[in-house]
Amino acid sequence: MTEQNLKDILWGKRIFVTGGAGYIGSHVVLALGETGCEVMTFDNLSTGHRHAVLHGDFCRGDLAEREQLLAAIKGFRPDAVIHFAAAIEVGESVANPLKYYRNNTANALNLLEAMGECGVGLMLFSSTAAVYGNPERIPVDESAQLAPINPYGASKMMTERLLADLASADSAFRYTALRYFNVAGADPMVRIGQDYANPTHLITRALKTALGQFPKLEIFGSDYPTADGTCIRDYIHVADLAAAHLAAVAGLLLGRGAEVFNCGYGHGFSVREVVEVAKQVTGIDFPVEMAPRRAGDPAELVADSQRIRSALGWQPQYDSLTEIVRTAWEWEKKLVSRADSVHEQG
C-alpha cells in the first residue's frame, strides 16, 4: 500500500490502543494520528509514559479491571483495537511466569470478551518472534513450528491461539498478529523513543553505558553456536514497525483477517557486532564484560518477512543497523538534556 492509500483507508477511523504509552505503542499511536485516525490510548502506565502519547485521547486503565475497560471501549466506539499491553522481559518471565500468563494471556481474554460485548470485531495483536523458540531453519517464516522456550513467548503463543479459535467460531471477528523480531531505534524526528528506567534491550543498554549511566555493558553468553559465539538477532527500526501496523490495520478494515506476519528485515547481527556499531556511532569506547547466558535466550532469530511485504506492500525505510543506533543515540542524548534541564530548574 502507498502512503496515500493508507491515508484514504485510515482517515477518520477510530482505533483503540492498549499499551499505547509504551515504547512501540507510542510510535504506532503517533503514526496513526499522522495518518488521520482518531485514537484512544488505554494504558495503566506501569511501564509507559503519559507524555509519550502525542495524539488522541488517553484513558488510564488496566485490562484486569473489566468494568473500567468496558466503559472505555463503549465510550470510544472504535472501529478496531490494537493490543500492545503486555509484560515483555524474557528473563523476568522465567523467574515469574504467573505474571506473564496473567498479564499477557488472561488480560487478552478480558479484552476479547469486552470487545465482543461492545460489538468490536477487529484486532491487531502485538506478538513476538519468541513464539518460535529455537527454530530449525533460519530465516524463520510464519509456517514454522511454534515452540517457545520461555513463558513470555508461551504467553503470546497462547493469545494467538485464543485469536485463531475465536475467529473460527465467530465470523464477525477478524484479527492479524504481528510477530516482532528485535525492535530498536527511535522516532526519526526524536519526539519519542524508548524510555525505561532499567532497560534490558541491548542497544538501549549499550547507549546508556556510553553515557556513563551504567558502569559496563554485559554480554550474556559467548558460547552460542554462532560465528562469534554471541546471540544473533534481526533488528527492526521502530518506525518501520509502526508502518507495518498501519498497513495491517488497513488490511483488517478492508476485510483481511486470520493472518500472521513476521516483522523483521531478514538479516541478523550478533551482540558483538551491535556493540561495535554502538561504539562507532557514539564515538565512545565504553566498557564491555562477558557474562553467563541468560535463561530463555535462543541462539539466533532472523525473520523471513516476505509474507508481509507481498501481502500488505510493506516497504521498510530504515533497514540499517547504523541508522537504528543513530536514532536511538539522538533520543538518549535528548533524555539526558531533558533531565539536566529539570535538575537546573529544580
Active-site positions?
Answer: 152
DSSP 332: H
Q: Which residues pair with 122 in a beta bridge?
A: 174
| Whether 233 contacts 181, CB under 8 Å | yes
Residue 282 has φ and ψ, to the nearest 5°, of -80, -25
Q: What is d(CA 193, CA 171) in angstroms, rounded to the nearest whole number?
A: 38
The residue with cell 493469545 is: 159
CB 236 within 8 A of CB 265: yes
Instruction: Report in angstroms the alpha-carbon separations of 127 from 100, 178, 217, 221.
Output: 13, 5, 28, 25
For 93, the enclosing helix (H) or strand (E) is helix 90-95
What does each C-alpha distance from 236 to 92, 242, 317 come to in angstroms? 23, 10, 10
